Amino acid sequence: MMTLPILMVEDNPQDEILTLRSLRKVNLVNPVEVVRDGQQALDYLFKEGEFAGRPGPDLPAFVLLDLGLPRVGGLEVLARIRGDARTAALPVVVFTSSSEEEDRLASILRGANSFVRKPVDFAGFAEKVAKLGVYWLAVNEPPPSAR
Amino acid sequence: MKVAFRFISSSLLPVAACWLQRLCWPFIAPFVWFLFYPVVFLSSWMGGFAAGMASTLLSTCLAWWFFLEPVHTLVKPLAGSYVSAAMFMVMGFLFSFVHLRLHRANREKALALEAEHQATFRQAAVGLGHMTLDGVWLQVNQRCCEILGRSKEELLAMPWETIIHPDDLEPFRSLVRRMVAGEFSEQVLETRFIHKKGSTGWLNLAVSLVRDAEGGPGYFIAVVEDITNRKQAEEQLRENRAILDAALASMTDAVFVSNAAGEFIEFNEAFATFHRFDGKADCARKLADYPDIIDVFMANGEPAPLDMWAVPRALRGETATNAEYTLRRKDTGESWVGSYSFSPIRDRHGEIAGSVVVGRDITELKRVEDELKRNQARLAAVFAAIPDVILEYDAGGKAVMANEAALRVAGVSSLGFLRTEVVAKLRFRKFGDPSASLEDLPVSRALRGETVAGELYAIRTADGRDRIISTFAAPFWDGGKVTGAVALWHDVTDLKQAEERISRNAAELERRVTERTAQLEAANSELESFAYAVSHDLRAPLRAMDGFSQILLEDCAEALTGEGKACLAEITKASHRMSGLIDGLLLLSRATRGTMEFVPVDLSALSETMLAELARGDPARQVHWRIEPGIRAQGDPRMLASAMGNLLGNAWKYSARVPEPRIEVGIVLEDGRPWVRVADNGCGFNMAYGEKLFKPFQRLHRQEEFPGLGIGLATVYRIVQRHGGSLKAVSAIGQGAAFLMSLPNLSAMEQS
């Protein structure tokens, strides 16, 4: 069985470092693919653009999606994922600094599987990332098409 | 017979005298003729000349034989005997002769009297008749025949009762019976009789009973007078009187008639009512005291002296119509106004015999009149004061009324000008359409029965100013016909100019509003994105600061000195503080963003839930709270929850250091409106810094005392403001704090 990667969509390099470090701390075997804007994320998922003909599995185990992204915004990315039959069942976790109710509601309505706020204090942040990884990779049963 | 008896008895008197003298001769002698002289006198008085002479001769013989010496002889020796006898006879003759003359004179006198009497009887102007006791005419005079319409023969042949009207017969008979019985000797009665022609007339019948020599009833003398005309006149008078009474009674005007002395002889029911008496009878009783009962005042209000009252004036010959007097009852004080007409009554010689006065209560009329006058004055004042032009035209279009404004605008000084003159003079033009026909000016249409309101015309006033007027016109109707019209011009020049300015400004204003709106919208959206940025982007660097500080501590712990670690700890603390500030900012921004809904919110239930929540979150503390039930307000549920949450949270927080913390939520009345009051018995604050209270990030306590951002009350303040309410605080250090919040439709209804 192939170990599916985690797709992290994050434009902030510091958050990227902190997230990766936190994931590493829990000793996950899954690789983490990082893209830095919405367009890249979509290209990766649909194997288009720079990711056309990329090797590896078609879809990641889950997507860790920031909302404030350059080029194509997070909510737009989410809408496109849910709008395409290939990615409709893909677990997407919105992971953002925003505490706005509108963002929370919009994310869930567009089909996000989970909405997690990035805490400012690092201890809390690390804990949340670790729990996310464990949950979505080990606890949660993935949708059938992801197999 | 009687005459013969008188003759014999009187002539035989000497025999009696002779006998008597013989009996008394001893006392009488020698007076031979002692008793014979009176006997002869008596005989001639009683029996007349012949009896006197007979008595004389007989006396002479008897005295010659029985008394002259020597007696019982025919021849006497003494010559004196012959002389005395001759003298006696001469005396007897003289007595008889004198009595003869006396008798004759008496008889002539009686005859003359009788003739006179008979003439009187016959020719009397009244009817006279003599009647027997059993009702037969003895005699009647001419006048009586004329009155009864029958001849003397006819009357004497019929019982006198037959002329009496059958209906009056019984009283008449009764009268006769009673007179005969001696109850009275004369009586006058009026009775009806039947004229020969069959008509009925009236008699005044004076009947006296003449008694005979013995005092028994003799016969009746009747004096008959025809009073038919008088009776008819009386009847007529009675009828007239009845008509007069009916007329007086039916009159609503008070009528009173006085005699020449000023005493009332006639008055009607209305007169009694007019003077506030209880009917005619009451009035009649009190009329004599009239001046004591009623005060009279002249029209000018001065008390009227007695001689100026209506009756005395009329009695002086004055005549007046509608003289005004004010009357006042002295007893009740009631006062009323009377209009009097009066005139004297003159007899046929032109002398004043009385007065007639007619009075009418015009109190109500006067009141109405005064009211009318006041109204007219009021109307005139309004017309004069009103700046609008008011004109009244008759059906022919001629001005019959114009107020001062009208005269000023039209530049005329008197009425009577024609409508068309005004139109021409003031250059009437339809406003906004100067070429329009003036055929149908408002007044023309009003005179045709239309009502016109608010039509605009341009005019040039008499003093040369161009004005715009709004015209109104309405017709006057009288019995379905238009009798005139009233026109009103309201000067709207200023209004029109203002309107123009406004419409010019409106476009400009519209443009500016659009511009400002766009600016505002831009600013709002900037604010939105700023808040979003704060929420989203400002946190990432903080996280980085905190994160990398931690990493440094974890990964390079051996390389760091104690001071270095302390520095890293400060960085972490600062980042956390910054994060808190950002949260606060967001909170504040959220409190005032978004649309509001207005629904009833139960603040009591909300408070209960929130305090229970606080108690659950802080189980170590024992806080007592009391919440007045049923406090309701109209507002946005989320915002009100946030406001109450902040106030209760503060109360909870700042009461932490007192031994028995209490929180109260209630409703109070202040400044004439209800407020929600959230009070605690906590540490309180100094009111001197009160003004800082509602500003963001302003705090009255140090962080070490009570941690906080200084954003809660600012949020409450904004929320209350957005609801159109007010927020105020009352506190003193160590004495707790109370926050009062007024909200729309705040009430404390008992919950059902």
From chain B, pick out residues whose CB is under 8 angstroms from the CB of A18.
543-544, 547-548, 551
Domain B125-228 and domain B396-491, same fold? Reply is yes
Contact: A120, B572; criterion CB under 8 Å: no
Contact: B579, A99; criterion CB under 8 Å: no
Residue to test with chain B: of A65, A120, A125, most B Cβ within 10 A: A120
CATH number given to B125-228: 3.30.450.20
- Asked if A98 and A75 touch (Cβ cutoff 8 Å), the reply is no
The C-alpha of B619 sits at a distance from chain A's nearest C-alpha, in angstroms, of 25
Q: To the nearest whole percent, how much of chain B has pLDDT over 70? A: 98
Cβ pairs bridging A and B (under 8 Å): 65
From chain A, pick out residues whose CB is under 8 angstroms from the CB of B543.
14-15, 18, 97, 118-122, 125
Cβ neighbourhood burial of B696 (10 Å; 0-12, 13-18, 19+): middle
Per-residue pLDDT, B1: 64
* pLDDT tens, position by position, B416-464: 788 888 888 888 888 888 787 777 788 888 888 889 888 888 888 888 8
Instruction: Collect contacts of B255-259 with beta carbons under 8 A, ≥24 apart.
Output: B255/B356, B255/B357, B255/B358, B255/B359, B256/B311, B256/B356, B256/B357, B256/B359, B257/B345, B257/B354, B257/B355, B257/B356, B257/B357, B258/B311, B258/B314, B258/B315, B258/B354, B258/B355, B258/B356, B258/B357, B259/B353, B259/B354
Per-residue pLDDT, A1: 47
Q: What is the 3-state secondary structure (H, E, C) of chain A?
A: CCCCCEEEECCCHHHHHHHHHHHHHCCCCCCEEEECCHHHHHHHHHCCHHHCCCCCCCCCCEEEECCCCCCCCHHHHHHHHHHCCCCCCCCEEEEECCCCHHHHHHHHHCCCCEEEECCCCHHHHHHHHHHHHHHHHHHCCCCHHHC
Of B547, B572, B586, which has the smallest distance from its Cβ to A18's Cβ? B547
- Cβ-count burial B40-71 (b if 16+ within 10 Å, e if not): bbbbbbbbbbbbbbbbbebbbebbbeebbeee
Per-residue pLDDT, B751: 44
From chain B, pick out residues whose CB is under 8 angstroms from the CB of A17.
547
Contact: B540, A122; criterion CB under 8 Å: no
* pLDDT tens, position by position, B651-679: 998 888 888 899 999 998 888 888 999 99
* pLDDT tens, position by position, B475-497: 988 888 889 999 998 888 888 88
* pLDDT tens, position by position, B107-155: 899 999 989 888 888 887 788 888 888 878 888 888 888 888 888 888 8
Mean confidence (pLDDT) of chain B: 85
Residues 6+ apart with CB under 8 A from B63: B18, B32, B33, B36, B85, B88
The Cα B2–Cα B8 span in angstroms is: 10
Mean pLDDT of B297-323: 88
The Cα B18–Cα B62 span in angstroms is: 7
* pLDDT tens, position by position, B696-738: 777 777 777 777 777 788 888 888 888 888 888 888 888 888 9
Q: What is the CB neighbour count within 10 angstroms for residue B705?
A: 12
pLDDT at B752 over 70: no
Interfacial A residues in 77-96 facing B (CB < 8 Å)? 96
pLDDT at A146 over 60: no
Q: In 3D, which of B220, B49, B92 has the Cα closest to residue B144?
A: B220
- The residue of chain A nearest to residue B543, with distances taken between CA atoms, is A120
Using pLDDT thresholds of 50, 70 and 90, give the confidence band for residue B344.
very high
- Asked if B122 and B141 touch (Cβ cutoff 8 Å), the reply is yes
CATH number given to B396-491: 3.30.450.20
> Which residues on adjacent β-strands are paired with residue B476?
B484
Q: Which residue has the higher pLDDT, B306 or A127?
A: A127
Contact of A15 with chain B, judged by CB distance below 8 Å, is answered with: yes
From chain A, pick out residues whose CB is under 8 angstroms from the CB of B550.
122-123
Q: To the nearest whole percent, how much of chain A has pLDDT over 70? A: 97
- The residue of chain A nearest to residue B574, with distances taken between CA atoms, is A121
HSE-CB of B32 using CA atoms within 13 angstroms: 21
- The residue of chain B nearest to residue A102, with distances taken between CA atoms, is B532
- Asked if B223 and B205 touch (Cβ cutoff 8 Å), the reply is yes
pTM exceeding the 0.90 threshold for the entire prediction: no
CATH number given to B596-748: 3.30.565.10
* pLDDT tens, position by position, B394-409: 888 888 888 888 888 8
Using pLDDT thresholds of 50, 70 and 90, give the confidence band for residue B535.
low
Using pLDDT thresholds of 50, 70 and 90, give the confidence band for residue A147.
very low
Contact: A97, B535; criterion CB under 8 Å: yes
Contact: A120, B537; criterion CB under 8 Å: no
Per-residue pLDDT, B634: 87
* pLDDT tens, position by position, B164-215: 888 888 888 888 888 888 888 888 888 888 888 888 888 888 888 888 777 7
From chain B, pick out residues whose CB is under 8 angstroms from the CB of A120.
539, 542-543, 546, 575-576, 578-579
Domain residue limits, chain B: 2-106, 125-228, 251-368, 396-491, 596-748
- The residue of chain A nearest to residue B583, with distances taken between CA atoms, is A99
From chain B, pick out residues whose CB is under 8 angstroms from the CB of A97.
535-537, 539-540, 543
* pLDDT tens, position by position, B597-646: 888 899 999 999 999 988 998 888 888 999 988 888 888 888 888 889 98
pLDDT at A60 over 60: yes
Contact: B539, A97; criterion CB under 8 Å: yes
Residue to test with chain A: of B528, B545, B546, most A Cβ within 10 A: B546
Superfamily of domain covering B251-368:
PAS domain (3.30.450.20)
Using pLDDT thresholds of 50, 70 and 90, give the confidence band for residue B372.
very high
Using pLDDT thresholds of 50, 70 and 90, give the confidence band for residue A92.
very high
The C-alpha of A61 sits at a distance from chain B's nearest C-alpha, in angstroms, of 26
From chain B, pick out residues whose CB is under 8 angstroms from the CB of A21.
551
